[in-house]
Structure formats: structure tokens, C-alpha cells
Amino acid sequence: MIRTKLDDRQMVLRCLKGIDEATRVGAHRRDLWERCWNANDTPAYFGDVLRANGHFWLDPGAEQQYLANLRAELFEKYLPGIDTVHEFGCGSGQNLKALVGKKQIVGYDWSKSATERVRSLGGRGVVFDMLAPHDVEINGAALTVHALEQLGDQWRPFFHFLAKKRPAVCIHIEPIEELYDPDDLLDHLALAYHRKRGYLSGYLTHLRALAAIGEIEILEQRRTYVGGLYHEAYSVIVWRVV
């Protein structure tokens, strides 16, 4: 299908209506994710509308393909020499599936269905609560894709867990509020949606403060300017403990 530019005014109106109806994410939705990963191979949040270069486009499948391409780019850049990848909030298992036969894979999720998916790929699945991490060994890379977003402003226990475990590299593909421009119309809408949903808040600010005093090294912090109807979920942060 050829990408078709959509009427920005109509899409802004659709965004505003969606923001009004948006509900908050968080631990209270665990049953929903259990049902989701028990039934679906593809996350339900992929839609037909692509947000890119300051406009909206009708392009079914483009958002999912963009994630696949971005993921491949980051894996090629940061995973050479690393034997094991630990994905936290592994969900459908699609990110780890891309590494089958190339790396040892471990998937962590508060959904038992998600961990069973990882086991079906030949990896290790661990039921894990990112809000209250228990002790596990990490020998390799840590990965999150659209998982930190669910923690809102309660990411500190998980950050301290990562800092203590010192993975070789931490790779995040997440919506990052600090990278939006509040004076831009579409960014302003994305921020409003981000905050109404209660997505990840303050994480990059914290990393930047630690990098400034030399406790961690930020290898990459990048806005990709690509997303779905309501926001951009494909910003990149890569860091490691010094």
C-alpha cells in the first residue's frame, strides 16, 4: 500500500478526542496484559496511522516495520561480543525472537503468558515485577521496548536494580517526554497523551544527572521523530554504568 498523507486538522481532532478518553497505565492492568499475551502475537497498539516528519500518514504496517528496522540497527551496533540479552517486559517475545540462534535470550515479564512465549522460542522466561525487582543474575545486555513506559514515575527500583547488576549495556526503545518540544503542536499533543496515560516520567533527566557526575555513560539518546497516532514510542536511550 502506498503511504497516503492524512488531513492534519482531522488527525489533530482525533488526537484530542483520544486524549480525553485515555486511561492510565500501571500495575492495575496486569490482568489485561496476561490476556493479551495469551492470545496475541502482535501488540494491539500498532495501528494504521504513522506519525512522521511532523505529519500523519495512512501506512498500515509501517510502524511495526519501523520498530523492526530500529531494533536491528541497535542490535547490530551494541550487541557484538555480548552472548546474552535480557529483555524486561518481554511481552509478545517479538524482540527476542529476532535474536534466536544468535544470542542466548532471557525474557522477564509480570505476565506468565509472556514468559511462556519466551520459553517456546528456546529461551528462559522469568516472571518479574519491574516495580519490585527480585534478585536475578544479568550477564550481558539489558533491553526494554515499550516496557519502561508502564512504570510512569515509579522507575527508580528498576533503575537501581540495573545499576547494581551492571549489565554490559542497557538499551531502551521507549516514549521519552524530555525529547518533545512543548511549543510544537504535535509534540504538545503527544506530551498531553503521554501524561494522561501516565507514561515514563523523569528517567532521562535522572540519567543525564548521573552522567554529568560520571556515574554512568550515556552512549546514545535519540529522538527518531516516528510514532503512531498519539505519540512517539521509538526514542532511544543507551547507557551503561561506568
- pLDDT for res 214: 98
CA distance readout (Å), 107 to 110, 211, 229: 10, 28, 28
Residue 232 in grid coordinates: 512517539
**pLDDT of the residue at 37:** 60
pLDDT, residue 27, reads 65
Q: What is the pLDDT of residue 117?
A: 94
Rg of the chain, C-alpha, whole Å = 18
Q: Cell numbers 497516532 correspond to what residue?
A: 229
- pLDDT attached to residue 53: 86
Q: Provide the CATH number for the domain formed by 4-241 in this structure.
A: 3.40.50.150
User: What b/e string do you get for 19-57 counting C-beta neighbours within 10 Å, with b at 16 or more?
Assistant: beebeebeeeeeeebbebbeeeeebeeeeebbbbeeebb
d(CA 43, CA 61): 12
| Model pLDDT, residue 2 | 76
pLDDT for res 45:
76
Pairing outcome for strands 124-127 and 141-145: unpaired
- Give φ, ψ of 70 to 5 degrees: -65, -45
Residue-wise pLDDT for 89-101, tens only, equals: 999 899 999 999 9
Q: What is d(CA 187, CA 54) in angstroms, rounded to the nearest whole number?
A: 9
Nearest-angstrom CA–CA distance, 224 and 232 = 8
Q: How do the pLDDT tens digits run along the chain, 242 residues long?
A: 678 999 999 999 999 999 999 999 866 665 665 566 655 566 667 899 999 989 999 999 999 999 999 999 999 999 999 999 999 999 989 999 999 999 999 999 999 999 999 999 999 999 999 999 999 999 999 999 999 999 999 999 999 999 999 999 999 999 999 999 999 999 999 999 999 999 999 999 999 999 999 999 999 999 999 999 999 999 999 999 99
Scan for cell 561480543, then name that residue: 81
